Amino acid sequence: MEKIISLCKRRGFIFQGSEIYGGLAGTWDYGPLGVTLKNNIKRLWWEMFVENRDDMYGVDAALIMNPKVWEASGHVAGFADPLENGEKFNVMFKTSVGAGEEAIVSYLRPETAQGMFVNFKNVIDAFHPKLPFGMGQIGKAFRNEISPRDFIFRTREFEQMEIEYFVKEKDWKDFFENWREQMFDWMKAIGLPKKSIHELEVPEEDRAHYSKRTVDFEFDFPFGKKELYGLAYRTDFDLRNHSASSGVDLQYFEEETGERFTPHVIEPTFGVDRTILAVLTSAYTEDELNGETRTYLKLSKSIAPVKAAIFPLLKNKPELVEKAREVYMMLKKEIPQIVFDDNGNIGKRYRRQDEIGTPACITIDFDTLKDDTVTVRDRDTGEQKRVAIKDLKDSI
């Protein structure tokens, strides 16, 4: 764990929040490579679960909501952790909306789910979806954790990728199983080894107040087997409560049967920060290459923050630098996440790119000037091959 944290700071993935002031527990800042890795993960998730499907609708709800939302959802009464003296401590962050006597107490949202439930009627009225259908959202959530710990695993400010999938009550078991399989597909897509993932059937006494069944997907982190994702059957708890509290009808009308009913909900939820920690844990590798010990991140190509690095063999040879810049600019138009690197000797550049997980290093040498081919080095094996410049995009 210490090696991963050190690499993250040294290479510009993740920094302690407010570090120059001694930090603030449970807060972390993402640096240039970290934010790109995070965005790649979110982009892949959005494509996989929203854009590439016909039954999903994306939303981006407000962070601060009418406080009645949190009363109806049960969070004001029940979203609490026990203190050591037995008292209950509500972990929602309070804030005030408005000024002076007109101000009302509200909260920073502790989950993204409620923003989808309160927009259920809006999506139905605007798009008239057929059941089953879902809503997807990526966004920040906030919990005043009593003891944040384990780097970005348990924090006070975090990001969720979450789905609320609406079904008929009689069909919930089939869709629960279907989403369970899709969550495994996602974990495979981002490069998490199946041997490191374990399913836990959460017993009734440990389930959230809204859940009739929950499966946690636990991951072998360096500090132990801990929850990575969750899959919950929320029944009709949220829509029913919001309907009763707001006085707005949140039932679904099925034209084919003339039936009006409150849909039930399957909720797959994915923590962005825990995803990043699991990805880094899985990718962190130490081996020996050409007689030297090296560290590298074996990141999946789909999420690696840098897809390829372009090197001139020697930085003091203008003709090589010029050709390398030409190749770099050509590829940059097609593949934005590539870098130009001429800092230090070729060995140091390889080690630097290995450590940030760059899948391919492309070297422009004197043969390039003769035949328009370059040397492409594979991150994982260290193997090198000659590739024509015109074939580089497909190669990468």
Residue 306 has a pLDDT of: 98
The DSSP code for 102 is: G
Looking only at the bridges linking them, the beta strands covering 259-261 and 252-254 are antiparallel
Residue 77 has a pLDDT of: 83
Q: Max CA-CA distance within the chain?
A: 78
Backbone angles phi, psi at 210, to 5 degrees: -95, -5
Of the candidates 39, 31, 95, 85, the residue with the CA atom closest to the CA atom of residue 62: 95
Residue 82 has a pLDDT of: 73
Count of C-beta atoms within a 10 Å radius of residue 263: 24
* Domains of the chain with bracketed CATH: 2-281 (3.30.930.10), 306-395 (3.40.50.800)
Give the count of alpha carbons within 13 A of 348, CB side only.
Answer: 6
One digit per residue, the tens of pLDDT, for the chain of length 396 reads 999 999 999 999 999 999 999 999 999 999 999 999 999 999 999 999 999 999 999 999 999 999 999 999 988 887 777 778 877 888 999 999 999 888 999 999 999 999 999 999 999 999 999 999 999 999 999 999 988 999 999 999 999 999 999 999 999 999 999 999 999 999 999 999 999 999 999 998 888 777 889 999 999 999 999 999 999 999 999 999 999 999 999 999 999 999 999 999 999 999 999 999 999 999 999 998 888 889 999 999 999 999 999 999 999 999 999 999 999 999 999 999 999 999 999 999 999 999 999 999 999 999 999 999 999 999 999 999 999 999 999 988
Which residues are 164's β-sheet partners? 135
Residue 204 has a pLDDT of: 86
- The model's pTM is 0.94
**Alpha-carbon gap, residue 301 to 274, rounded angstroms:** 19
For residues 361 and 309, the answer to whether their CB atoms sit within 8 Å is: yes
Q: Which helix (H) or strand (E) holds 237?
A: helix 237-246
**Alpha-carbon gap, residue 110 to 160, rounded angstroms:** 10
